Amino acid sequence: MNNRHRIISLHRAILIISGVALLAVIALPIWRIELDAAQYPEGLELLIYSYKLDGHVDIINGLNHYIGMKTLRADDFIEFTVLPYLIGIYGLAFIVVGFLGKRKGLYILFAAFLLFGVVSMVDFWRWLYEYGHDLDPTAPIKVPGMAYQPPLIGFKQLLNFGAFSIPAIGGWIFIASGVLLAYCVFGEWRIAKTWAKS
């Protein structure tokens, strides 16, 4: 095989390690929404995994019924069935590209992973929007013009609750994998440019 099209060892190592880390994401919380209110000095937490919701889901559902928000149920999300496989495929893809070491494979992986990231975030935002806006018109508490969409990332006050949304450990691994992948792509792109000039 021509050296021109091969990835350097450092990048291959990064890809393989990232791939293994991505496989671990399947079992780790990806996103965290923390809720704070005067009556909840201890805070409430919603943890989003690739395959389930965890944390104080029942308590949060109990509170949400006052404003007419739909009950959060893992069964309502097709994502929880698909996402573990998708993350698994990407993890394996990282490892395979790392082993095969083809630059073209790296580029394709980068494009696909970027697409996956964007689609995932859009999908996540869409769910947040839907839960925040699709409120039961007969809810006891109706504040005109008020929606309860939690922020995708960062802080937002929703009535008496402060909602703070950030990636959890799985999410950070995901982001780190993306950043490292981009770093590899950038590095390889520079190497390829050097090759092209020579």
Partner 1 sequence: MKPKQYLLWMAAAAAVSISFSACRPKGAGSAVSGNAAQRTYVPPGQYDEFYNFVSGGFSGQMSVYGLPSGRLFRVIPVFSVDPEKAWGYSEETKPMLMTSHGFVPWDDLHHIESSFTDGMPDGKWMFANSNNTPRLARIDLTTYRTAEIIEIPNTGGNHCSPFTTENSEYVIAATRFSVPPDGPQGDVPISSYKQNFKGHISFVSVDKETGEFNIAFQLKTPGLNFDLSSAGKGVSNGWLFLSCYNSEQAHTLLEVNASQNDKDFILAINWKKAEEYFKAGKGTKQTNVRYAHNKYNEHTHSATHEIKTEVTVLDVADFEDLAYLIPCPKSPHGTDVNPTGEYIVGSGKLAALIPVFSFDKIQKAIAAGDFESERYDGIPVIKYESALHGEVEKPGLGPLHTEFDDKGNAYTSFFVSSEVVKWNVEKLEVLDRQPTYYSVGHLMVAGGNSKKPYGKYLVAYNKITKDRFLPTGPELCHAAQLFDISGDKMELLLDFPTIGEPHYAQAIPADVIKDRSLKIYDINANNHPFKANGEGDARVERDGNIVRVYMTTIRSHLTPDVIEGIQQGDEVYFHITNIEQDWDMPHGFAIKGAGNSELLIMPGETQTLKWVPDRVGIFPFYCTDFCSALHQEMSGYVRVSPKGSNVALTSYAGNK
Min dist CB 32 to partner 1, Å, is 11
Residue 152 in contact with partner 1, rule: CB under 8 A: no
**Binding map of partner 1 across residues 110-149, x = CB under 8 A, - = no contact:** ----------------------------xxxxxxx-----
Q: Does 62 bind partner 1 (CB under 8 A)?
A: no
Exactly one of 120, 164, 181, 185 binds partner 1 (CB under 8 A); that residue is: 164
What minimum distance in Å lies between the beta carbon of 187 and partner 1?
A: 9
Q: Which is nearer to partner 1, 64 or 93 (CB)?
A: 64
Q: CA–CA separation, 58 vs 15, rounded Å?
A: 39
Q: Which of 154, 182, 190, 195 binds partner 1 (CB under 8 A)?
A: 154
Measure Cα distances from 86 to 29, 51, 63, 76, 81 in Å: 16, 11, 33, 18, 10
Least separation, in Å, of the C-beta of 135 and partner 1? Answer: 13
Least Å distance, CB 70 to partner 1, is 15
Q: Which residue has tokens 């998708």?
A: 86
- Whole-number Å distance between alpha carbons of 60 and 140: 16
Query: Closest Cα to residue 8, out of 176, 173, 190, 197?
Result: 190
Of 36, 54, 79, 123, the one binding partner 1 (CB under 8 A) is: 36
103 in Cβ contact with 42 (< 8 Å): no
Tell me which of 17, 28, 86, 153 binds partner 1, using CB under 8 A.
153
Among 14-22, 34-42, 86-94, 104-112, the segment contacting partner 1 (CB under 8 A): 34-42
SS3 track for 158-192: ECCEEEEEEECHHHHHHHHHHHHHHHHHHHHHHHH
Rg of the chain in Å (alpha carbons): 21
Q: What is the Cα–Cα distance from 113 to 103, expressed in whole angstroms?
A: 15
Residues that bind partner 1 (CB under 8 A): 34, 36-39, 41-42, 138-144, 153-155, 159-160, 162, 164, 166, 172, 176
